[in-house]
Chains A and B, each alone.
Chain A
Amino acid sequence: MNSVEHYKEHFDQLQSTDKNGLTAIRKNAFDAFNKFGIPTSRHEEWKYTRIGGLFNKQYQFPVSTGSLSANDINDLRLPGHEQANELVFINGIFSFPLSKIISPELIVQSLEEAASNEFKEIVAANLGHSSDYLKDGINALNTAFVNGAVFVHVSKGKVTEHPIYIYNITDARTENIFSQPRSLVHVGQNAQVQLIETYVTIGASESFTNAVMEIVVEENALLEYYKIQNDASHTNQVSTTHIRQVGKSYVHAVTISLNGGIVRNNLNIVLDAERCEAHLYGLYFQKGKSHIDNHTVVDNVKPNCFSNELYKGVMNDEASGVFNGKIFVRQLAQKTNAYQSNKNVLLSDNATVNAKPQLEIFADDVKCSHGCTVGQLDEEALFYLQSRGIAGKVAHSLLVRAFATDILEHVKPAPIRAYIETLIAERLEY
């Protein structure tokens, strides 16, 4: 699957069968893919995350949602789903029959449709915006194959009481699957919404998911975004979330990564209006041989924005991790306040973390800070707990759980928080 010819055939077929408003953007992206190719470790942003090997395998390139029924996916639903809007992708293709919209203020359409109706300006202005930030073949590959994508519009002035759950489901029961979910979310002025996204693979064949979600946040809007990753170790993903705040607005993003084979997250926040505020939290707690890479970008384009970022990692066994956090402050963006911190605990001698903060500041009147630490659990703290009769293993778990607290407390939807707590408790065996 690593030769361009392989994709060319699929691409030509898609372009000929689906002649809607998206052919031009696909064509540009395909050219970019040809130019960049699949990222290798020579690519600065892919130095520690090697996905080339994943492309040496054969995958099915799905064009339809396949045969999964509502029953098949029932067990995969996240707690609180009864009170949630649910958007379902199967093998990267959005499924209307399996999705459920209960909030009247939500408009959910196929992206192809939105590209040619009253939303076409929004689509034109925002679809593919992430490619300005992710100059690599893998982002281009998703855009080159935009198909079965979804457009979500949160109407102006509405507070969405029911969260939106987004399931990226891969049906790998019979063969390896390469899937590329794509979505564009538009949060209208004064609107408020919670988005919760997760990834699940059914079956024992390998899955490789290359997802791109682009979100536009308008004036006075509020977005809470949660990404939960706890898929099996034979699943791999590159998961991009690109959030652009085009009016003074508030974004709260939390990424929880608990398992997977190779997982690469790109989270970009573009502060493209004055007085925007963004909070980015991440917890990665990895075991086995899993690899987690969090690349984040906070781009201060306009003055007076505030951003705060805290990512924490707990690495066990032979797990490896990457944190790469960039803060850009453009020349115009005076009075920027941007903070970033990354803290890691290694629970095993064979676990590793590569952490790299990067600040690029072109304005002079700014407050920025960053810091990163890699260490072990504190022996003094362990002894303190043990000296109170707490068994070593339990003390160990309590300390790991304590370390995660200031991320978990930012998971606001109660059922989701409880769900993550349970997953962590299972991992810690308490």
Chain B
Amino acid sequence: MLNIRNLQAGIEGRKILKGINLEIKAGEVHAIMGPNGSGKSTLASTLAGKKSYEVLGGSVDFLGKDLLELSPEARAAEGLFLAFQYPIEIPGLSTTNFIKTAVNEVRKYHGKDPLDAVGFLRMMKEKMALMNIEQSLLSRPLNEGFSGGEKKRNEIFQMAMLEPKLAILDETDSGLDIDAIRIVSNGVNKLRNKDNAVLVVTHYQRLLDYIVPDFVHVLYNGRIVKSGTKELALELEERGYDFIKNEVNVEEGV
């Protein structure tokens, strides 16, 4: 589904990703862990097509297409979804209107007619029940004054509405208490199937108790320095990131 080869990217002239290699197949859950500042959000945003990140080398194949050539909206329409670490507040734009526009824009991309009011409402109702989200939240301006948990639940609700092939969750657990993490990961798990894949980006292991990964990768200093199974996450939790840093520094002769 996703094949990242030697991806290098930076911001404001500074190289942050220094050669990422990663392959994700349909049906898999991958986790990327790493200390703060290691480049996790940079990777997520570069994949989603954020303009301020400059691709300096490498390639990304997504479902047979050259992802890096696509606009952010085309990436989304092709089935890539990024749940933001910090969802943006947009006063004056109702959440429902936003989601409706998104759903219909994706349909338009695929040459389909927009959903009519009834069709859209039916879809909303179904996903609201699935995600345990109330109408009152969706009537409010997009993310404005939402609590941390509400913002993250709203991200996953949007994911449910857009039914992506690959969902990238950037620190969806940060700032959430255990109950909120359980609700959010429940939502994600309900959306999983053999045809889609999830890339979970997280600093802590605890989210991975709920969204169980097939593979865990450690990102450090712009590179994936270690890959393993879910046991690697537990090891990181126990020993902290220092042991990874030491290993890497020894290898690099620092």
A residues near B, CB below 8 A? Answer: 378-381, 383-392, 394-395, 398-399, 401-406
Contacts and interface: CB of A to CB of B under 8 A. Distances in A.
Given A384-B90, A402-B93, A404-B92, A379 B102 contact: no
A75 to B, nearest CB: 31
B101 A381 contact: no
B73 interface: yes
Question: How would you classify the secondary structure of chain A's contact residues: helix, strand, loop or mixed?
Answer: helix
B49 A401 contact: no
A389 B102 contact: yes
A401 B106 CA distance: 21
A386 B93 contact: no
A402 B72 contact: no
Nearest to A430: B101
Contact of B98 (A386, A398, A403): A398
Nearest to A395: B73
B138 interface: no
Contacts, number: 81
- The range of chain B's interface size is 20 to 34
B92 A379 contact: no
Interface in B9-28: none
Contact of A394 (B90, B91, B105, B141): B105
B136 interface: no
Given A387-B81, A388-B98, 12 more contacts: A379-B52, A381-B88, A383-B50, A384-B90, A387-B75, A388-B102, A390-B102, A391-B71, A395-B73, A403-B92, A405-B91, A405-B141
Interface string B87-109: 11011110001110110011001
Interface in B140-182: 141, 158, 162
A401 B91 CA distance: 10
B73 A405 contact: no
Contacts of A405: 91-93, 141
Contacts of B87: 384
A394 B101 contact: yes
Contact of A386 (B72, B90, B91, B162): B72
Nearest to A386: B72
Contacts of B49: 383, 386-387
A389 B93 contact: no
B197 interface: no
B98 A385 contact: yes
Contacts of B215: none
24 contacts: A378-B88, A380-B88, A381-B88, A383-B51, A384-B84, A384-B88, A385-B102, A386-B49, A387-B48, A388-B98, A388-B102, A388-B105, A388-B162, A389-B76, A389-B106, A389-B109, A391-B73, A391-B105, A394-B101, A395-B73, A398-B93, A398-B101, A405-B141, A406-B92
The 3 closest A-B pairs by CB, nearest first: A405-B92, A402-B92, A389-B76
B211 to A, nearest CB: 21
Given A384-B84, A401-B93, A405-B91, A390 B105 contact: yes
B92 A388 contact: no
